[in-house]
Amino acid sequence: MYGKGLRALSIATVAAMALALALVFFYAPLEAEQGFLQKIFYLHVPLAIVALCGFVLGGLLAIQHLRTREARWDMRSYVAIHMSLIFAVATLITGSIWAKGSWGHWWVWSEPTLVSFLIVFLLYATYQPLRFAIEDPERQSRYASVFAVTAGAFVPLNFIAVRLSTAYLHPRVLGSTSNLPGPMALTFVVSLAAMALLFATLCKYELTAKHTRAQVRALRRRLTGETGAPLRQRSAAPSLQPTAASAGSATGSGA
Amino acid sequence: MRRTVGALLRKELLVELRTLESVPGMSLFAVTTFVVFHFALNRNSVDGDLASGILWVTLLFAAILGINRLFVADAEEGGFDGFLLAPVDRSAMLVAKVLTLLAYLVVLEIVAVPAFALLLLGPSLAGAMPGLLVTLALGDLGVAVIGTLVAALAVQTRARDLLGPLLALPLLVPIVIGGARATSPLLALSHPTGAPARWLLTLGLYDLVFGLIAYALFDFLLED
């Protein structure tokens, strides 16, 4: 049930990424000042937007977990934040490359978006250590959700605070889509959509993998006739304890 | 609610008065840090941006010492169990702990700010006092709210001394931004001016938002 729609989603993602890359390299015009280097904008900015939205999404899913106490919401929140962290690392790397290329430094403190992104990243980097340091699975998911909600609210607040603190040294020509010429804006929107699709696909893959692994483990236990509580390895990821019914239905369909 | 908060606050302050575990350590840490800054920067007096930066960084790290210890006694000596058995509003603990941490910070600043003026600060503090008091009060409130939430998150983990500061520092960055920017014109050597209202407003809004977040989430940290 968790793999449902995965193939369609993957195909759509590959198609969207291919279209976005084609637009970036063959359709979008070269920018006058930065030339070819500016193309990284179509990778960097969508990555950043998707990562930030993923963090906030993780917070919203965590609210749902705190309200319903269902483990699946914690799992979704964990996957959203986990994937956003990976996107965030990619954002920092591409941002650094862009800064080196256009301003000559790997890091610039005068760019408020970059700085606030780093602070958000540093906060979320403690998400997995926090989970790992709590052994009781129920408490782990509850505390992780409290963290996710707090951090999700912190994302926009932090951006406001850092933006206030920085005088604009560099004109933010490429910061928003409103002042982009038409072809560039179209390419950017397509890139953003492709990146969002990639995020959704990767999240779905991770969810499916976790559920499949839990089911396989449950089936193997049934096969070897083990009884009693399963040994639980310490882990930062939320644990899935598939019910006997779900494992049973899996064997039924398999046979 | 008010009586519960009063009772909890009395207990916290009594424990602190009897054990003297947090506040003296925090104050001593702050004064020692000023000495370290003197040697590290090789400066006899500081002013402006540098002065406000040193003051806020020192207060922040001293506050983290207090944040780390805030819930340790409750977790280890059964304070949480006793509180959860009592038929009272859970939020009372949040309010009491925030007020406790706020009291620690006020005592810390009563020691640290004069020590800073004596040891490092170039310009006189006399004219800057009203603005500095408002800025410190707003900053303290934010540190107390975020510190309490983070301390409650970290205290049940195995690496609490490590996770507390790691969680707290990024969340406190906007407070440092607001506090340091508001303080630096107060401590300028030439033409000191008042604290910019923009930064005080930022600090106030940040305190308010995190106060609401902590109020909404604290209950979830207490059910065991």
Nearest residue of A to residue B165 by CA position? A126
Could you tell me the residue ranges of all domains in chain A? 6-222+234-254
CA distances to A151, A198, B124 from A123, rounded to whole Å, are 7, 24, 37
pLDDT number for residue B88: 87
| Separation between Cα atoms, residue A216 and residue B152, nearest integer Å | 37
- Within a 10 A sphere around the Cβ of A81, how many other Cβ atoms? 26
| Separation between Cα atoms, residue B157 and residue A143, nearest integer Å | 10
Question: With left for phi above 0 and alpha for psi between -120 and 50, is residue B187 left, alpha or beta?
Answer: alpha
**Statement: residue A93 has pLDDT above 50:** yes
**CA–centroid distance for A34 within its chain:** 29
State which amino acid sits at residue A128.
Q
Q: What is the DSSP letter of B194?
A: P
Per CB distance under 8 Å, which residues of B are interface residues toward A? 149, 153-154, 156-160, 162-163, 166-167, 169-171, 173-174, 177-178, 181, 198, 202, 206, 209, 213, 216-217, 220-221, 223-224
Shortest CB distance from A143 goes to which of B153, B159, B177? B153
pLDDT number for residue B123: 85
Confidence of residue A141 (pLDDT cuts 50, 70, 90): very high
Backbone angles phi, psi at A227, to 5 degrees: -125, 175
- ipTM for the predicted complex comes to 0.90
> Residue A187's closest CA among A31, A7, A3?
A31
Angle at B41 between CA B195 and CA A162, to 5 degrees: 40
**CA–centroid distance for B133 within its chain:** 14
**Taking residues A216-238, what's their average pLDDT?**
78
pLDDT number for residue A253: 38
Nearest residue of A to residue B224 by CA position? A139
**Statement: residue A255 has pLDDT above 70:** no
Answer yes or no: do A157 and B178 touch at CB < 8 A: no
pLDDT number for residue A241: 62
pLDDT number for residue A118: 92
Tokens encoding B167: 């969680």
Q: What is the enclosing helix (H) or strand (E) of B135?
A: helix B129-154
Tens of pLDDT, residues B16-46 = 999 998 999 999 999 999 999 999 999 989 9
Could you tell me the residue ranges of all domains in chain B? 2-221
pLDDT number for residue A242: 53
Site from A140, A146, A149, A155 to mutate, B interface, most B CB atoms within 10 angstroms: A146
Residue with tokens 């922040």: B60
DSSP per-residue string spanning chain A: -TTTTHHHHHHHHHHHHHHHHHIIIIISPPBTTTBGGGGGHHHHHHHHHHHHHHHHHHHHHHHHHHHH--HHHHHHHHHHHHHHHHHHHHHHHHHHHHHHHHHS-S--TT-HHHHHHHHHHHHHTTHHHHHHT--SHHHHHHHHHHHHHHHHHHHHHHHHHHHHH----S--TTS-GGGS-HHHHHHHHHHHHHHHHHHHHHHHHHHHHHHHHHHHHHHHHHHHT--SSPP----SSPP----HHHHHHHHHHH-
pLDDT number for residue A248: 41
In three-state secondary structure terms, B131 is helix
User: In B, which residues are within 8 Å of A126 by CB distance?
Assistant: 163, 166-167, 170
Tens of pLDDT, residues B207-221 = 999 999 999 999 999
**Weakest-pLDDT range from A79-93, A155-169, B200-214:** A155-169
pLDDT number for residue B218: 92
User: In A, which residues are within 8 Å of B149 by CB distance?
Assistant: 150
**Taking residues A225-232, what's their average pLDDT?**
70
| Separation between Cα atoms, residue B203 and residue B135, nearest integer Å | 8
Q: Are B123 and B115 in contact (CB under 8 A)?
A: no
In three-state secondary structure terms, B22 is coil
Nearest residue of A to residue B177 by CA position? A165
The reply to whether A209 touches chain B by the CB within 8 Å rule is no
**Statement: residue A244 has pLDDT above 50:** no
Tens of pLDDT, residues B136-155 = 999 999 999 999 999 999 99
**Statement: residue A180 has pLDDT above 90:** no
pLDDT number for residue A254: 35
Answer yes or no: do B156 and A147 touch at CB < 8 A: no
Answer yes or no: do A122 and B221 touch at CB < 8 A: no
Answer yes or no: do B217 and A119 touch at CB < 8 A: no
Interface list for A 107-136 with B (CB within 8 A): 119-120, 122-123, 126, 129-130, 133-135
Q: Are B167 and B150 in contact (CB under 8 A)?
A: yes
The reply to whether A138 touches chain B by the CB within 8 Å rule is no
Mean pLDDT across chain B: 91
**Statement: residue B86 has pLDDT above 90:** no
**Statement: residue B9 has pLDDT above 60:** yes
pLDDT number for residue B103: 96
DSSP per-residue string spanning B136-172: HHHHHHHHHHHHHHHHHHHTTSTTHHHHHHHHHHHHH
**Taking residues B117-128, what's their average pLDDT?**
86
**Taking residues A105-116, what's their average pLDDT?**
83
- Angle at which helices B48-69 and B129-154 cross, to 10°: 30
Tens of pLDDT, residues B151-197 = 999 998 888 889 999 999 999 999 998 999 899 888 888 776 776 88
- Bridge partners of B121, per DSSP, are B46
pLDDT number for residue A229: 65
pLDDT number for residue A232: 67
**Taking residues B73-78, what's their average pLDDT?**
87
Site from B56, B157, B163, B175 to mutate, A interface, most A CB atoms within 10 angstroms: B157
